[in-house]
A and B are shown apart, each in its own frame.
Chain A
Amino acid sequence: MKLALVFVLGLVLQLALTAAHLPWLLAACQPLLLVTVFAARTFSPIGVAWTGLAAGIATDIFAERIIGPGGIAGALAGIFVAGLVRRFEMQGPLFWIVGSLAAAASSELAWLAVVATLGMRPDHTWLGGLATIVMTAAAGFFVAVVELAARAWGSPARRRRRALQRL
């Protein structure tokens, strides 16, 4: 349920970031890939791959591209990210930063590879791919900072400090 909610939120955000009145660079950000990274915390690699597949298909549909390459790339990125996170036991800010970077990079590479095997001309080249990686990693960094702040805000140590200040 939580994942579904995050998925919908990511999808809406991904759509919204392409709005004409927002800075053009934001359109390169792929919040749906962060949903895949988010799934890596709770699901097995196959489960994360399914999430990536769903995210990729949704991206394909809403980008009005050929449906499929994005899904396959998302699934591969999910497996890669899940493996990476488990292998290095990533937690905290590093989980989001490295996870989003790895997800964006692997997804872009896989997508380019799939599109190339289909004999299609990709709708973006290395510059678009780089922008996607950078912006998605920046979004991951932002989520890491927010999570860190939220944890610090709700930490028992802070509650203890506040309780002591009230005495």
Chain B
Amino acid sequence: MLRLQLRPGLTLAVTCLGLYVAAAAQARATRSSALSVAVAAISAPVLALANGVGVLAEDFSHGLRSLQAILAEHTHLEQEAAELRRVNQALSAEVASLRQGSRLLAAYPTLVEKAVVARVIARDVLRTHTLRLDRGRRDGIALDSAVLTENGLLGRVDSVQEHSCRVQLLTHPQAAAAARITGVAQEALLVGGDQPRITGLAPYTDVPENAQVLSTGSEGIYPPGLLLGSAGAARTDGLFTVAAVELAARASEANTVLVLQPAGRATP
């Protein structure tokens, strides 16, 4: 029996040489297809699995991108909706203000010629009892101009700037207006405060409840005949009959007001 004992290095070299010769032979001969078929058969499931993994990865990546796009769109839409809500609120306020202005102009058709429509831009009806309007000296507003809402007198202008003015409300503790009560012959004085009241009437004057309290214009600020409010229960307090007054105009609800030229003064 022939026994070959080759060194490992030599065996490797011989194998490589054999491979080289085989490769040269393959290069010059037609290739067999059996091996190709076998390779294809072995490769097919591996390739199918790898392709499945690739498709899964592609789908995942695509889904991730879609999700990011959707989230970005969602954020954008949320911002857009918030902006639209804000605009909608502003427009609603604008419409309400315009409606109030229209009603105001309709309520005083004879005064419109000498009046300026103004918008309330700030209000403090509890502490300083004032409103700030968006009209000022440039718009013809002067000191002591009477300020009206569609329901009645609100107060007078006590401070004027170039583009704005401040209104002292009839609820101001220092506010006062000459007034008369429907059904009562005497003239009286409406004084402000947290609970406005009418005073200056002779003792034991009979004041009809819920009678209209109107301006007389004697103080030189408010035009005569404008509604101030309605009279409440009257009582005699010392030398005068005093009656509580429920003011007609509510400063807390006024958004648009009418500013009249002051009585006896010309607009600059």
Residues in chain A within 8 A of chain B (CB atoms)? 12, 15-22, 44, 46-47, 49-50, 53, 57, 61-62, 64, 66-69, 71-72, 75, 114, 118-120
User: Is the pair B19, A71 in contact by a Cβ cutoff of 8 Å?
Assistant: yes
- Shortest distance from the beta carbon of B15 to any chain A beta carbon, whole Å: 7
Given A16-B50, A21-B50, A75-B12, residue A68 in contact with residue B43 (CB < 8 A): no
Docked CA distance A141–B89 (Å): 61
Number of A-B contacts (CB under 8 A): 86
Q: Does B16 contact A (CB under 8 A)?
A: yes
Within 2-32 of B, Cβ neighbours of A (below 8 Å) are at: 8-9, 12, 15-16, 19-20, 22-24, 26-27, 31
Q: Does B49 contact A (CB under 8 A)?
A: yes
- Shortest distance from the beta carbon of B77 to any chain A beta carbon, whole Å: 34
Q: Does B54 contact A (CB under 8 A)?
A: yes
Minimum CB distance partner of B54 in chain A: A21
Chain B positions within 8 Å of A71 at CB level: 16, 19
Chain B positions within 8 Å of A114 at CB level: 20, 23
User: Is the pair B58, A62 in contact by a Cβ cutoff of 8 Å?
Assistant: no
User: Is the pair B54, A19 in contact by a Cβ cutoff of 8 Å?
Assistant: yes
- Shortest distance from the beta carbon of A116 to any chain B beta carbon, whole Å: 12
User: Is the pair B26, A19 in contact by a Cβ cutoff of 8 Å?
Assistant: no
User: Is the pair A17, B16 in contact by a Cβ cutoff of 8 Å?
Assistant: no
User: Is the pair B43, A46 in contact by a Cβ cutoff of 8 Å?
Assistant: no
- Shortest distance from the beta carbon of A129 to any chain B beta carbon, whole Å: 19
Given A15-B50, A19-B47, A62-B39, residue A69 in contact with residue B55 (CB < 8 A): no
Chain A positions within 8 Å of B57 at CB level: 21-22
Which one of A47, A53, A64, A118 contacts B23 once the chains associate, using CB atoms below 8 Å?
A: A118
Which one of B8, B20, B39, B46 contacts A64 once the chains associate, using CB atoms below 8 Å?
A: B39
Chain B positions within 8 Å of A118 at CB level: 20, 23-24, 27
User: Is the pair A72, B26 in contact by a Cβ cutoff of 8 Å?
Assistant: no
Chain A positions within 8 Å of B20 at CB level: 68, 72, 114, 118
User: Is the pair B12, A46 in contact by a Cβ cutoff of 8 Å?
Assistant: yes
Chain B positions within 8 Å of A67 at CB level: 19, 22-23, 26
Docked CA distance A16–B19 (Å): 27
- Shortest distance from the beta carbon of B9 to any chain A beta carbon, whole Å: 5
